[in-house]
Amino acid sequence: MVSASTQSARLVLGTAQLGMQYGVANRTGMPDAKAAVCIIAKAREGGICEFDTGQAYGESEMVLGRALKELGISDDVNIISKFHPDVNLEDTGEVRHSLDSSLSRLGIPRIFAMLLHREDSLTHWEKGLGKDLHRFVEEGLIEQVGISVYTPRNALQALKTDGIDLVQIPGNLLDRRFEVAGVYDEARSCGKSIYVRSILLQGLVLMNASELPSAMDFALPVIERLNKFSQDSGFTILQLAFGYVNGAYTNQKVVVGCETVEQMHHNLALWQTELPEDLITQIKNEFANTSERVLNPSLWHNRSKTE
């Protein structure tokens, strides 16, 4: 039997919520500094040794760096961050300054993985960006280079790009796109890492019909079906969400955020949920054709770029 701490080693704490109010269902806002330290301490105590942040997540890097220093665990964990979307990725000096700024805020001499925040950043790869990031790896400032994407097409393109080691993609009980497109198979064949994020779809899967913003009425049929499926299965939606990604993506790290210490404790417990294989299959079948408008937050408010 796999121990709880070993299981939790697959979890990555997403820290966007520590630096800003993040997610459509966020009700508690950004935790204060003391609460942030307690959240990170609870995560580490629970077996989590990787933390995901980003330059565009408000004060997240600074909050995370201070908490790790206060806890004395800066050298004991892996940090994943992302360049701000506004950085000119074809300007070597600006990219270097951006990286140095992250290292300074985090209080570490080198970062485990530095990601491009948006999938359209791949257009800069052959224009000097790839060489710049490779140089930073050689200098020991970055261990791995990665990218965060929203679409299977860009995930496959990233996996086939020399110099990219890690691809972060959305994955949840509603989303079959990346499985069907062969993204996981491609990652295995080329020996690259997939990190799964958005397992709660920015909180959308937890909302009921009355809570759904009017601008997102298009998601109502899916939310109603999900609530009925939960009732019929005997599992809560949170249990289904955590149990699904744990059982369906057995070889991947999974990024999960939280807003309170209690939520962190609850998430660690939820991660131990084991769903029967036939229920995982039922989930795949029930939500096989969910609209991309529901699955892609960049389309929720007719935004033209991912966030």
Give residue 209's pLDDT.
86
Residues pairing with 145 in the sheet? 114
The overall average pLDDT reported for the chain is: 92
- Tell me the C-alpha to C-alpha distance, in Å, between residue 282 and each of 162, 196, 275: 37, 21, 11
**Measured distance CA(227)–CA(207) in Å, rounded:** 9
Read off the pLDDT band of 2 (50, 70, 90). very low
The three-class DSSP label of residue 180 is helix
Give residue 20's pLDDT.
81
**Nearest 5°: phi and psi at 174?**
-95, -15
Residue 306 has pLDDT above 70, yes or no: no
**Nearest 5°: phi and psi at 19?**
-120, -5
Q: Could you tell me where the DSSP H helices lie in 235-303?
A: 237-248, 261-270, 277-286, 292-295
Lowest mean pLDDT among 27-31, 49-53, 105-109, 117-121: 27-31
Contact between 271 and 7 (Cβ < 8 Å) = yes
Q: What pTM was estimated for this model as a whole?
A: 0.91
Q: What is the pLDDT of residues 266-297, one digit of tens each?
A: 999 999 999 999 999 999 999 999 999 999 98
Residue 148 has pLDDT above 90, yes or no: yes
Read off the pLDDT band of 6 (50, 70, 90). low
Q: Rounded to the nearest 5 degrees, what angle is found at the Cα of 16, between the Cα atoms of 47 and 12?
A: 25
Q: Which domains does the chain have, with CATH numbers?
A: 4-207+249-273 (3.20.20.100)
Give residue 21's pLDDT.
62
Give residue 27's pLDDT.
53
Q: What is the pLDDT of residues 26-74, one digit of tens each?
A: 455 678 999 999 999 999 999 999 999 999 999 999 999 999 999 999 9
